Structures are given as C-alpha cells and as structure tokens.
Amino acid sequence: MNVAVLASGTGTNLQALLDRVHRREGVAIVAVASDKADAPALDRARAAGVPASSFPLDQFADRRARDLAIADWLASRATELVVLAGYMQLLSGEFLGRFPDRVINVHPALLPAFPGLAAVDQALAYGVKVFGVTVHFVDGGVDSGPVILQRAIELPDARDAGEVLERLHPIEHELLPEAVRLIARGAVSFDPANARRVVIER
Ligand code: GRF
C-alpha cells in the first residue's frame, strides 16, 4: 500500500511511520507533503529517501488550488492512503473526494472530546483526569470522522500541556503505525449497520 504523509511540523509521527512501517508488511511511504517549506518533517522524509515537497499557500490562487496541487502530486505517486501527521490545515472536500475513506489523522485527545487546535490545553482547562490519543478517518468536519484506534492514559495530576504531550507522543507513535498496518492488511472496515463504527479484524 502506497502511503503519503502530510505534516506541518516536527514530524515525530512521520518518523515513527518511517521507522516502524515503511518498507514493511507491504507498506511504502511514497510522498511527504507540507504546507510549510521549512517543516522539519520534510528533512526527515528526505533523509529516508522519500520524495518531499512543500505547498505554501502564497504560491497558489487559494486553498482549493493548493489542495488540488497536493492531490495531483499524491496521485502521481500512486498514493492509496493519506496520513495526516500534524498537518495543521483543513483539507477541502474536493481533496477528500480524491481519496474517499482513505485519509486518516492522529489527534492528541479522546475524541469526540476536545477536537481542533490545542486539544491538550482544552483537556487541562476542563480538568480531565484521563487523556489519550485517537486515530480516525478524516471527513469534512474538524476531527469528526469515524474512530479507528484510541488509547487512554490516566494523568490525574497533570497541569502542564508539554508534560502531557510528552506522555502522549509515544502512544501516538504506536497507534498511528498500527492503524496504517491494519489498513494495509485490509483489516479495517465499516460496520454495515453503523458506518460511524469502524470494525477491526485482529
Ligand atoms: C501530534 O501531537 C498530533 O497528535 C497532532 O499534531 C502533533 C504532531 O506532532 N495532530 P509531530 O509533528 O508528529 O511531532
């Protein structure tokens, strides 16, 4: 399965994919794209010999044109699954239509709680005692698509977002490669009785 990764930032989740699933179990990361020309994620891709390209908004007429350019590039690399790994832009409906049920995202909260930006800050402000990570399909909303994998961690005394993220990152680095592995194996489907419910064949 040819996988493309979109990332805006440091790319530790991209690194986990490169280290744990790339060129294994029938998975190949074939492209890494970013909205930011200086995203460290692009360097990680190049270091692993994976084609990397940036698509800054100011080089396009608008977001729609940018998304179409990304979609065209990914399609030219025969992409079958798009993984958002810290990609900080919303994707247009047209982009999603090019990869139906084939775009996934990792989010540092137990969705549907705390979607959107600064999820850990939201969770801390709410005072939750249990934090977690969600890997989900991407639909037209903000972090609203069907859940593939989730894992919780109890941090009853947490006060600092940086410290919580430090605990969540290793979980993300396990769950995201696991989701890619499962999809590549054909083990992920939708419950015919409830399309929101993802069924995993283990
Ligand atoms: C992760 O915390 C992920 O949950 C969120 O963006 C962050 C990306 O981190 N969507 P990194 O760039 O992979 O280190």
Map out the domains of the chain as residue ranges. Answer: 2-200
For residue 13, the CA-to-ligand 1 centroid distance in Å is 6
C-beta of 89 in contact with ligand 1 (< 6 A): no
Q: Are 135 and 148 in contact (CB under 8 A)?
A: yes
Q: What per-residue confidence (pLDDT) applies to 188?
A: 98
Top-tier CATH class for 2-200: alpha beta
pLDDT tens profile 11-55: 999 999 999 999 999 999 999 999 999 999 999 999 999 999 999
Q: Are 35 and 8 in contact (CB under 8 A)?
A: yes
For residue 176, the CA-to-ligand 1 centroid distance in Å is 11
pLDDT tens profile 91-147: 999 999 999 999 999 999 999 999 999 999 999 999 999 999 999 999 999 999 999
Q: What per-residue confidence (pLDDT) applies to 34?
A: 98
C-beta of 132 in contact with ligand 1 (< 6 A): no
**Pairwise CA distance, residues 91 & 35, whole Å:** 11
Q: What six digits make up the tokens of 44?
A: 């990680």
C-beta of 9 in contact with ligand 1 (< 6 A): yes
Give me the DSSP letters along 156-188. TT---HHHHHHHHHHHHHHHHHHHHHHHHTT-E
How many C-beta neighbours within 10 Å does residue 31 have?
A: 23
Report the side by side order of strands in the sheet with 28-34: 52-54, 28-34, 2-6, 81-84, 103-107, 130-137, 147-154
Would you call 22 a catalytic residue per the annotation? Answer: no
